[in-house]
Structure 1
Amino acid sequence: MSIVGKTATMLRLILILAVSSLAFAAPHEELIEKRHPYIYKVITGPMNWYEARDRCEAMVGWQLAQPKSQFQMDEIMKLYVAGFYWLGITDLVNEGTFTYYSNEIPIDGIYTNWDVDSGEPNNENGIEDCTEIWKLNGLWNDVNCLLVRSHAFCEYHGGHNDPHMRTFDGHAYTFQGIGWYYLFKDCSDNTHFEVTTKFEPREDSTPDQIKTRTVAINVTVGNQYAILDGRDVTTGSTGGMVTDAKVITIQEEDKSIKLHFTSKDTTFTLNWTLRNHALDVSYSGSSYNRKLCGLMGNADGDPRNDFQKPDGSIVKDVLEFGESWKLTDKKSD
């Protein structure tokens, strides 16, 4: 074969390899994009905000959408068709302070998308307490909750019932760990707090299928600690007497225990419903964005990198991620 012939053959081979590479790479990238944990849907009206809330919640595991990052907002807007859409953000509890309606956590310092160029939110006529998407670019407007709008966005939250987990950034996953694990902790240079939790097999577990539940929670903030072992609650200080102001607050109710603590400008809240072992974790503030780690992820607004191990590496395997946060020096019994 001549040199020219060989060259032409090589060029054809390179072209075939390049086309084959693109054919395999494109679907792979598409799958990665579709693997996000957020599930949204549109419900159509007309309906006011309260009706929208009730219609979302009538579907098990669903609620009015409460975007907490630009990533989530972008996912919502993929479903947008021209019109007005209700969101689950209001200042019904405290005028002027908009919160996520499901937990009353203020949105400031987490994520907002107000149409500030139009002066929103402006509480026109003193009766605008609910939030809608009102423009093609997803900008928000405060509006009268009783106003009838066309649509609403619902989001699937699924709760935190064991063994299901959901990170601060919204990544839902299933992990069947047994023993003590870091739920979340301060991973900045000067660690100030950590929250650990103990998982045990549920009564309906079988040798072939282990299902776990939360049975205890340990919170340490500075030199103060709180241990929740079912309804047995113990608080104290690692140095004996508590000389600093009390930073861990616990409220015991009929069916649940609520614990919260504040570090810098951020308040963390754990609401543990004992009967069904549901553990809901949330925070309000911005000091620890990108500075948290553990089973609840890194709180950087992007759920795609939540499976971060203690060494900083990102993995895809749930078991590898979960077990990396196990307390190896603490007995499970």
Structure 2
Amino acid sequence: MKSNYGAPKTELNELGRIQDRISFLYLEHARVNRQDSAVTVTDQRGTVFIPSAMVSVLLLGPGVDVTHRAMELIGETGMAVVWVGEHGVRQYAHGRALGHSSRFLEQQAKLVSNRRTRVAVARKMYQMRFPKEDVSKLTMQQLRGKEGARVRRVYLEQSKKTNVPWDRREYKVDSFDSSTPINKALTAAHQALYGLSCSVIVALGASPGLGFVHTGHDMSFVYDFADLYKAKYSIPVAFEMTAKHGNNDIVDWTRRGMRDVFANGKLVVQMVRDLKSLLDIDDDIPAETMHLWDDRQGLQKFGVQYHEFDDEDDEN
């Protein structure tokens, strides 16, 4: 049916393929509206037009107002939407996943439900932390010990580099203010990293709760995924901010530091590549797929009127 407002709804075969789209677009302090088949973004500098079918994920930061018509177009053209803090330091909510496909979720569930493949993915995660070593023969217990030693070494290296005293990692849920400045900073930095990790996971259609190393929590996979980047991003930022600001608004300074790290977008792009690699997903993902499941004949066409047949026909 033709819409009474703007251009007609875009057909699936007219949409840009995911690998041809811009990956993530972050907006803040702006009004998002629609004109024909374009999303318009207006702030104090003026208005820009964004071809909605050419953007994969829209990250809506603080101060963004979105009209109903804009969300209608965004939904029609397969753009995922995630509501975040500044540059992804928080993940508040998300709309429909990118691609309208269950491929990531099904693959993740398949891998995590089998002991052999679950261990294989976990080893792949640890291999990313030890690129020059072969961890394929190590048990999960050995991998945890090896990772623990690596993280302790990173803490000590950053302490020496920044002259911030370091004893041990200490996180008090019920008494955050009693922690040392560096432990406060580490908590804030890690939480910001969790926010960005969750944004990428849900935008691609995977589940935050189906973890391979962590388990039993609705954010288990977020913790798995974020752990890949702590040594390079959140730990150095926490020590750097503590060295500069001590205990003076250290949480706010740390969040700003993580925001600046996220701002160039390179980490988001890396996360997308890494998530696809971990789950063995190639780049050629259809914009939208729907099939009917059959226990004998595999996937069958959706949208076809099937007719009743007897058991004899079924056997032939």
With the shorter chain as reference, the TM-score category is under 0.3
Rg bigger for which structure?
1
TM superposition score normalised by structure 1: 0.26
Bigger proportion of residues as helix: 2
The TM-score normalised by the length of structure 2 is 0.27
